[in-house]
Each structure stands twice: as C-alpha cells, then as structure tokens.
Amino acid sequence: MKSLHLQIRFLVPLLATLTVAALLALPLLDQMTLRWFSRDLSARGAMVAKTLSLAISDIEPGAKRERLRALLERGVLDERLVGIAFCSADDRQVLSTKGFPDTLSCKEARDVAGQKDPRLDLASGAVHIGVFPVSPQQADSDRLVLLHDLSLPDRRSVDTRRYMIIFITILGLAIAGITMIVAQISWRGWVSGMRAIMRGEGLVRPLLQNGGGPAPDSAPPELQPLEVEIRRHLRELEDNFYREHGPLTPWDPERLRGLLRTELRGDQVIVVSNREPYIHLRGPDGISVSRPASGLVTAVEPVMRACSGTWIAHGSGNADQEVVDANDRVAVPPDTQDYVLRRIWLTAEEEEGYYQGFANEGLWPLCHVAHVRPVFRESDWAQYRAVNQRFADAVVAEARSDDPVVLVQDYHFALLPAMVREKLPKATIITFWHIPWPNPESFGICPWRRELLQGMLGSTILGFHTRFHCKNFTETVDRYLEARIEHEHSTISYQGEPTLVQSYPISIAWPTDDERAQWPTPAAAREAVFARLGLAPDTMLAVGVDRFDYTKGILERLHAVERLLEKHPEWQGRFVIVQVAAPTRSALDEYREFQDRIQRVTERINLRFGQSGYKPVHLLAEHHDHAALMALYRAADMCVVTSLHDGMNLVCKEFIAARDDEQGVLILSRFAGAARELPEALVINPYHVEETTDALHRAATMPPQEQRERMASLRMTVREFNVYRWAGRMLADAGQWRLRERITRRVQRRSREGAEAMIP
Ligand code: GDG
C-alpha cells in the first residue's frame, strides 16, 4: 500500500510533464504540417501552371479567348483547385474560372503569393495562392493565378493533431506502466537490500570471497556505494562509542581482584624485583618517601595494590632500615597500606657485582644491542648467583603455602626461577623480562648463557613484551640447550618441565576520574611550565622523559633538534625541547661518560642557536616528582621517544594518558616495543637523524584535527591495553595452568591408589 502511494506520487508528476510536453509540441507540429502542405501546393501549382502554359502557347490567336477559358475550366476539374485566373503582365484580369472570387484582383493575388505563407481566408474557406508566369523566359509575361483549397490540409492537420494526442497518451500510459513495474521491482530490491544492510548482513560479510570474486549474497551493485557509505558511518559511530566508553568489560583493579579470587582462589602473590616501589630517605626534614623512576615499578605497583601480596625488593634508601619491622617488612603505600614490602639488604660488594656489574654492565647492553659492549666478570657472576639465591630464599621464607604465585621481575633474576622451583616445586612462577631479548648470536657472547637459560626455564610462564622477543628467546634456547620446543603451544620443555613462552605487552594504569580531577588544565600546565622555564608564549614545546640511559636515544634526539633548527631556521627562537633525564646508574663509567657527553652536546647546541632569553635545549638532569611530569606532558606540543632499543617504553603511554584534551603529537621510535601497538604515532628510526628531524617538523605543524584523530585512537588503545590487562592475562594463564596441574595430580593419585588396591 505504502509503495503504491509512493508510486502515485511519482507518476502524477510524470504524467503532468508528458501533458505539458504534448501541449507545447502540438502547435509546433501544426505549423510544421501546414508548411509541408504549403510547399507541396506551391510545387503542385507550378506543375499545373507549366502544363497549362504549354497548352496556352499552342492556342491560335484567333480562337484564343474561348480555348483559354475551356483550358482553365478543364484545369479546375481537379478537386483541390478552387479557381484559376489569367492575368496580363500589367495585372489586368483577362478571364477567370467560375470558382475564382470576384473580389480578388490580380495585384492582390500577386502580393499574397509573394508572402512566406501564401494563404488567404475567403468567405468560402481558406485558399492557397500561387502566381506563375505563362512564358517564364519573358520578363513581361502573362500570369496564371491558381487558388488551391486549403480545407484539405486543415482537415489533415486536425487529423494529425488527433492522432498525435492519441499517440502521446498511449506512449505516456505505456511509460507510466513500465515505470510502475520497474519501480515496484527496484523498490522491493531496495527495501530488502536496505533491510539486509541494516541487519548488518552486507556490513560484516567480507565483500570479496573465493579468490577475489564478489561474495555470492553481497548487496546489489546499485546498493554497494550506499553500503560502503553506511559501513563508514557505522564504523565512525562505533569508534566514537568505543572511544568514549572503552571496551565492554574493561580491565581494572576490580576485574583483576575478581580474577585472583576466582581463578587463583585467593592464592598468595609474591613479587620479586630489584627496585623497590617506595624508597625511604632521610633528609633535613626527617624521613620522606620517594617513588623511583622505573618502568617496572610504574607497571607492577598498581597490580600489587589490587592483589595485596608481598613484594620482595632490594632496600636501597638510606632510611629504609629505620621503617621496617623485625622481619624487614613495611606496609605500603604509606597512605593506604595495600600490600607488604619485604626488603633485602645487600652489601656494597653484592650490589656492585650483582647489580652494577653483571646486570647493568653485562645483561643490559647484551639484551639491548645498543652498540655498548657488555662486560662479563667472573666475580660479578658469582655475586649475581649469590644474590639470586638470597632472593629465592626470601621467596621461600615469605611463602605461606607450597604453591604460591611468584612474579619474578626482570633481568636481575634470571637464575631465581629455577632456584625457587627447587624448593617449591608446586609454585607457579611467572617471570617477566622487561627488556628486549636479542637474537641467538648476540646472546651467545655471554659466557654463562646456558646457566641463564636454565635458570629462566624454571619458570612456569615466561613473558616478554613482544612476539618478536619470544621468538628470539625460543631460537636462543634451541641454539644452546637440549630442549623440546612446541611452537604450536608456545612451550619449551626442559628436563621434562614445560614453560609457556608468551608475549604480554606491559602498560600503565589508566588514570581514574579522581586522579584526573587533580590535574591542572593543559592551559594552566602550560602557563606553569612556561613560567618555570622562562619560555616565550609562542614556543613550540617538545618533551622527552627518560632515565638518563644510553639506550633511550637522547643523543640522537638532540642531533635531530639541531638539524631541525638548521633545516628550518624559522624554528630558531621558537622550538624548545625539555629533556627530563632522571639520574640512573651514575656509578658506572659508561653512564657517566654518556651523561657528560649529553651535557656537552646540549651546551654546544644552545651556544649555536641560543639567543638572549632563548635556548633550544633544556636538559633537566634530575629526578622529578609525578606531578611535575604530568604538568610537562600536559603542557607539551609533542613528546619525543627515540629509544635505540626498548622492551616497551611507558613514557609514551603516560603522555597519551595525560592528554585528555586529545592534543599533542607522539614521536615514537620503531625500536620500542610500544611502536607495535601505537601506529598512530609518528614512528621513526632514531638512527636516521633526517627522518626524526622531519617528524619534529611535521609534529610542530600538524593541524589540531589530525592531532585529535591520532590522539583519540592512541588513547583508546592504551586505555584498553592497560597494566591490569597485562597482569590479568598472565595471572589468568597461571590460573589455567594450576587447574590443569591439580587435575593431573588428582588423576595420577587416583590411578596410583587404584593400582595399590589391585595388589593383594
Ligand atoms: C624497563 C624497560 C619497559 C622517568 N623519569 C622520571 C620518572 N620516570 C619514569 C617514567 C616511566 C619510567 O620512569 C620509565 O619507563 P620506561 O618504560 O620508559 O623505561 P625503563 O625504566 O627503562 O623500564 C622498558 C619497562 O621496563 C616496563 O616493562 O617499558 O622498555 O627498559 O614511568 O615516567 N618518574 C619520576 N621521576 C622522574 O624523573 N617519578
């Protein structure tokens, strides 16, 4: 019914258009028909006149008048001729036939005949007048005037008009009928096509199937552009919804706690790391608490807050011993006391050998392959083994059951998993390697490569940031140990004990609404930062936040800034990079030399491009508190991460989380694990100074709308792939593993009991 209504609405204008066209066309058609007839009559008249002229020339002069009359009377026997007159050269009528009107003179006839339409309306009807010379060769020839009846053409014209109206009406009705049928069919197709699209059939189905041919039930071709358009709009709506609301079941502390309650049944969680999450320091005003600059701490702390376990770490603060209890424990964080920090004390020799020596001079450069030679000393290795054992003993001492969940953090404890496994065979040991894992050849230069691999394979689960690192590790084991590798299940079985090797990209805790409420607005942050650093209001501000480490690509970053000022002089006086370089490992020569070098390069660039009140590089080589970092992130126009090699890099994720105004550009090294998750950043090769320079320029000139698009997308990723997901996925895998272990043990026990019962 609805479609009929629609079609009538469509047909009425169509019929109206046809009627108007017919009304306009008919007079034209009339005129045209009459013109044809007129031309036809002229030709016909000429022929009759010629015949008569020949006959007239044969008449003898004596019999002329009578013979002429008889000739003309014979001529008018033709039904279409009304009358004929014979006129002399001086327009005198010599004689005329009966039908020739008396009122029509030769002169008038000649005048009418000379017109375009030689038509004359008489009382008896309309006539066509033709005037023809009897002897065309003579200038003063006598003339014949022929009057043709025009009623016939008029009648024909009326007939033509009637036929035309009938024809146009039939044509109109036929067009309308066909249109109705086609419209009916297309309308049904459209409606069903649109319904299919709205149901999502045309949207979720792949458009191409079977080697590139269209999907058999894809939308009809005329609907495909519409389908593409609807698909795009729906995707945009979906994206906006997703951006605003996040995933339907987001990973947050509550979900993580739920997982610990259900999948791990509240089992004890013990974290082991070198760096402690809180450092107690004695200063002139008494004891204060500080948070170290460490990606590991940034990531693991929120997880511990959620699961209330025990964190075992090296007590490195000068007031640490003063605040612990008799078992070297202290509840942290100071305000909420969510979990227990168990501190391990290291002697100066232990710290030097295990931490500075083997871990930081050996394993750190070994795994980063950042063109700094690893140093391996026998004495460092001995300390490394001893300290790993001390921490392993502490884990055993802290365990309240024989099967705790132990989270081992980083390259400082490669040997610890096997050591704990020896004492607590049923423990679930999850080791997470926060730094990259190199290829087998690079790792092979370590004299104790086999021992390190054996130690790590004491883990139940071994996690890296990226699949690429997992692959490198598996290949390294394949190269140096006798182990069974099952690529399909991502497991390595060494001496009959399986280890799951998986990638778990680490992240940050997404800021809560309460946290965000404490933040200054970007404008206020900018004002404060600009005032503190004495920057001009039109400054284009880039920030870098790193530990002062040679792997972070700080030198390459400075070279790119220098090149930018050379290549684009318009930025001189306006482009500023603020580089936070938190002091780290300064006891090591390699670090001291690197840090000195950065100081020198900074001074050189500032000397070269600085002006009164302007220096392009602000190197802040000191530890900043969290609020100061937030202010910088929010004040900046761009954040620059140029690591030469980085397991993940959390600074880029912190910058993204800080930009709830969806402004600011992230420049990110492709050698940071984060680059695999954050392609909307400007991804660069930090070794290529020109490329980084161009990225700085592009970031500085990027329109706000593009910044918004990129930042919104980055924020969506970091919010969803947060640190609770990182921990949750590892703990969920651990939970499944424990379930399988329990079932296997039950099955084995029952079959053993069954076998014993069989013995008489
Ligand atoms: C390792 C891997 C991986 C820096 N300066 C200050 C400060 N920081 C904080 C940052 C950030 C953290 O330190 C650095 O994290 P990164 O991830 O960049 O780097 P690493 O410390 O090298 O961490 C790395 C990480 O482990 C986690 O697995 O991503 O690839 O190398 O959170 O904000 N914090 C404070 N003051 C500073 O001056 N408070």
Segment 688-710, tens digit of pLDDT: 999 999 999 999 999 999 999 99
Region for 376 from its dihedrals, namely left if φ exceeds 0, alpha if ψ lies in -120 to 50, beta otherwise: beta
Q: Residue 472: helix, strand or coil by DSSP?
A: helix
- For ligand 1, is residue 652 a contact (CB within 6 Å)? no
Number of Cα atoms under 13 Å in the Cβ half of residue 670: 10
Q: Which CATH superfamily is domain 2-159 in?
A: PAS domain (3.30.450.20)
Which runs of E-coded beta strand occur in 137-212?
143-149, 208-209
Q: Which residues of 518-552 are buried (b: 16+ CB within 10 A; e: fewer)?
A: ebbebeebbebbbeebebeeebbbbbbbbbbbbbb
Strand order in the sheet with 491-494: 329-332, 339-344, 310-314, 269-272, 405-409, 428-432, 461-464, 497-503, 491-494, 484-486
Domain locations along the chain? 2-159, 200-249, 255-503, 520-721
Distance (Å) from CA 176 to ligand 1 centroid: 75
Please list, in sequence order, all residues whose beta carbon lies within 8 angstroms of the beta carbon of residue 474, skipping any fewer than 6 positions away. Answer: 485, 487, 492, 501
Task: Determine the distance separating the centroid of ligand 1 and the alpha carbon of 295, expressed in angstroms.
Answer: 3
- Do β-strands 339-344 and 269-272 pair in parallel, antiparallel, or remain unpaired? unpaired
**Residue whose CA is closest, atom 36 of ligand 1?**
624
Residue 271 Cα, ligand 1 centroid: separation in angstroms?
Answer: 18
Instruction: Please name the residue whose Cα sits nearest to atom 33 of ligand 1.
Output: 651
Atom of ligand 1 nearest to the CA of 650: 17
Element holding 84 (H helix, E strand)? strand 81-87
Task: Find the 653 Cα to ligand 1 centroid distance in Å.
Answer: 11
What's the confidence (pLDDT) of residue 455? 98
Q: How many C-alpha atoms does 622 have within 13 Å on its Cβ side?
A: 5
629 lines ligand 1 (CB under 6 A): yes
Q: Is the CB of 681 under 6 A from ligand 1?
A: no
Residue ID of nearest Cα to ligand 1 atom 15 = 295
**Closest CA to ligand 1's atom 23:** 295
Task: Say what the pLDDT of residue 63 is.
Answer: 67
Give the H/E segment covering residue 684. strand 682-684
- Atom 18 (ligand 1): residue with closest C-alpha? 649
Tell me if 83 CB under 6 Å of ligand 1.
no
316, two tokens: 């490195």
CB-based contacts of 14, cutoff 8 Å, min separation 6: 172, 175, 176, 179
Note whether 2-159 and 255-503 share their fold.
no
431-474: per-residue pLDDT in tens?
Answer: 999 999 999 999 999 999 999 999 999 999 999 999 999 999 99
Average confidence (pLDDT) per 10 residues, the chain, 760 residues:
61 75 77 78 83 78 75 83 89 87 89 86 85 85 88 74 81 82 78 71 46 49 75 71 64 86 84 96 94 80 85 97 97 94 97 96 95 95 98 97 94 98 96 97 97 98 97 98 95 96 96 94 97 97 97 98 98 98 93 97 98 96 95 98 97 98 98 97 98 98 98 96 93 90 84 80
Out of 296, 469, 652, give the residue to mutate to test ligand 1, the one with the largest number of ligand atoms within 8 Å of its CB: 296
Radius of gyration of the chain (CA): 50
Which residues touch 455 (CB under 8 Å, ≥6 apart)? 388, 414, 415, 416, 417, 418, 419
Other residues' Cβ atoms within 10 Å of the Cβ of residue 568: 17
- Distance in angstroms (rounded) separating the CA atoms of residues 398 and 339: 13
Using N-to-C axis directions, what is the helix angle for 704-720 and 651-658, rounded to 10°? 110
User: Could you tell me which of 238, 252, 260, 305 has the C-alpha nearest to residue 278?
Assistant: 305
| Ligand 1 center from residue 353 Cα (angstroms) | 23
Task: Return the residue whose CA atom lies nearest to atom 14 of ligand 1.
Answer: 295
Q: Which atom of ligand 1 is nearest to the CA of 652?
A: 18
Q: Rounded CA gap, 361 and 368, in Å?
A: 11
657 within ligand 1 shell (Cβ under 6 A): no
What is the dihedral angle through the alpha carbons of 627, 695, 719, 658, rounded to the nearest 10 degrees? 20
How far is ligand 1, taken at its centre, from the CA of residue 297, in Å?
A: 8
- Distance, CA 677 to ligand 1 centroid (Å)? 18
Q: Give me ligand 1 centre to Cα 310, in Å.
A: 22
- Indicate the residue type of 271: V
For ligand 1, is residue 298 a contact (CB within 6 Å)? Answer: yes
Please check whether residue 459 is in contact with residue 502, taking contact to mean a CB–CB distance below 8 angstroms: no
Q: Is 551 in the pocket of ligand 1 (CB under 6 A)?
A: no
Task: Give 547 Cα–ligand 1 centroid separation in angstroms.
Answer: 7
**To test the ligand 1 pocket, which listed residue (288, 545, 580) has its Cβ within 8 A of the most ligand atoms?**
545
- 249 Cα to the center of ligand 1, angstroms: 28
Q: State in Å: Cα 62 to ligand 1 middle.
A: 138
Asked if residues 559 and 594 have their Cβ atoms less than 8 Å apart, the reply is no
Ligand 1 pocket check for 654: Cβ under 6 Å? yes
Q: Burial, 456: exposed, middle or buried (Cβ in 10 Å; 0-12, 13-18, 19+)?
A: buried
Residue that is written with structure tokens 């039930």 in the block = 217
Instruction: Report the alpha-carbon distance of residue 313 to residue 273 in Å, rounded.
Output: 5
- Does the beta carbon of 557 lie inside 6 Å of ligand 1? no
With a 6 Å cutoff on the Cβ, whether 651 touches ligand 1 is yes
- The CB of 295 under 6 Å from ligand 1? The reply is yes
Is the CB of 301 inside a 6 Å radius of any atom of ligand 1? no
**Ligand 1 pocket member 466 (CB < 6 A):** no
The length of the chain is 760
Helical H segments across 580-700, by residue range: 589-609, 626-635, 651-658, 689-700
Contact call for residues 72 and 86 (beta carbons, < 8 A): yes
State in Å: Cα 413 to ligand 1 middle. 19
Which of 686, 700, 465, 660 is closest to 568 using CA atoms?
A: 700
Q: What is the CATH number of domain 520-721?
A: 3.40.50.2000
Q: Is the CB of 648 under 6 A from ligand 1?
A: yes
Centre of ligand 1 to C-alpha 505, Å, is 15
Q: How far is the centre of ligand 1, averaged over its atoms, from the C-alpha of 648 (Å)?
A: 10
Q: Which of 297, 632, 651, 656 gets mutated to test ligand 1 (max ligand atoms within 8 A of its CB)?
A: 651
pLDDT of residue 225: 77
- Pick the residue whose CA is nearest to atom 10 on ligand 1: 651
Residue whose CA is at the smallest distance from ligand 1 atom 12: 295
Residue 296 Cα to ligand 1 midpoint, Å, equals: 7
Distance 649 CA to ligand 1 centre (A): 7
State the distance between the two ends of the chain, measured CA to CA, in whole angstroms.
Answer: 88
Q: Establish how many alpha carbons lie within 13 A of residue 498's alpha carbon, considering only the half-sphere containing its beta carbon.
A: 14
Share of the chain above pLDDT 90, in %: 60
Closest residue CA from atom 28 of ligand 1: 434
Distance CA 41, CA 647 (A): 103
Q: 647 CA distance to ligand 1 centroid (A)?
A: 11
pLDDT of residue 141: 86
- 735 contact partners, CB below 8 Å, separation of at least 6: 259, 262, 263, 264
The pLDDT score that the predictor gives to residue 694 is 98
Bridge-partner residues for 288, per DSSP? 281
CATH code, residues 255-503:
3.40.50.2000
Closest ligand 1 atom to 674 CA = 29
- State if residue 677 touches ligand 1 by the CB under 6 angstroms criterion: no
| Beta-bridge partner residues of 129 | 147
CA distance 454 to 481: 8
Q: Which amino acid is at 347?
A: T
In this structure, are residues 599 and 619 in contact, taking their beta carbons and an 8 Å threshold?
yes
Q: Please, are residues 279 and 241 in contact by the beta-carbon 8 Å criterion?
A: no
Measured torsion, CA atoms of residues 230, 235, 237, 240, in degrees rounded to the nearest 10 = -160
Q: Ligand 1 in contact with 646 (CB < 6 A)?
A: yes
